[in-house]
Amino acid sequence: MSRRQFLKGSAAALAALGAGGAGYTWLGEPNWLEKVYIELELTQLPASLNGMKLIQFSDMHLGLGNHAKDLEQLADIIMGEQPDMICFTGDMVDDEAAVLQPGIGALRRMKAPLGQYAVLGNHDYLQDALAVSRMMEEGGFRLLMNDNHQIRREDGILAIAGLDDQLLGNPDIHKGAAGIPTEACRILLMHEPDYADRIPAELNFHLQLSGHSHGGQIRLPMFGAVITPRGSRKYIMGWYQAGPTGQLPLYVNRGIGMSQLPVRFMCRPELTIFTLKRKPV
């Protein structure tokens, strides 16, 4: 999706809403966070991790509408949920890496006993992906770039894998899954949701978490998303069965921030709180 396409489609939608509606899209809905609670059963989840709480947030886009103070407020909300694990699925900044610097303290406050994990998104690459990566790690997040981390318990393993960005990076799912034992429960972090259809069934991932689409950011009744970016044309928001054989559960988070224009309509920012349960065999 080009900036011109997004602006053209958004301008038409906002014109249809009128002045009052346009004000709501700018000052109202972008600040109306929705917390989405989901219970999810996963096969091979260690019994000792049954009931663990995983929080996903995505697409902060710091520098366009959102700033360090917004990340501070989000940290308060996340920690109020008492997470066991925190996952960020890309696009921490809109373009300039420097806007993240004053937000490092907020990232450090996001603490979970099973760890904090992140992947990069396409906007993180626009100016200085290395600087964004460094600041994410300074904030206590483990950046997974075609890599994985395994949480080992006596009764099993939970593996968190993450891939490089599809549009501006070099994702390698086989490298990202390397070394994960067959018996492990596997969760994949990938910024662009449509990449799910490239995940081989034999790698046996139990869940993919993605962002990127913003849910369309502007949605209209009986129409849906006005436009979505490349990498999220097929999978836009919520739950899907994806993958080459439909084997992969995929959840697409609508994100916190905005891109191109600092507006949202019928597409509130989202924080997703998963309670993971071991699926009975």
Residue-level pLDDT at 10? 46
User: Cα–Cα distance between 80 and 40 in angstroms, integer?
Assistant: 21
Residue 183, H or E segment: none
Number of domain units in the chain: 1
Residue-level pLDDT at 3? 45
Per-residue pLDDT tens for 224-247? 998 899 999 999 999 999 999 999
Query: What is the domain extent for residue 100?
Result: 3-278
* Cβ–Cβ under 8 Å, residues 228 and 255: no
Per-residue pLDDT tens for 142-200? 999 999 999 999 999 999 999 999 999 999 999 999 999 999 999 999 999 999 999 99
Average pLDDT, the chain: 93
Residue-level pLDDT at 20? 53
Per-residue pLDDT tens for 105-133? 999 999 999 999 999 999 999 999 999 99
Which one, of 100, 106, 97, lies nearest residue 73 by Cα? 106
CATH of residue 58's domain is 3.60.21.10
Average the pLDDT over 22-47 and give the result: 89
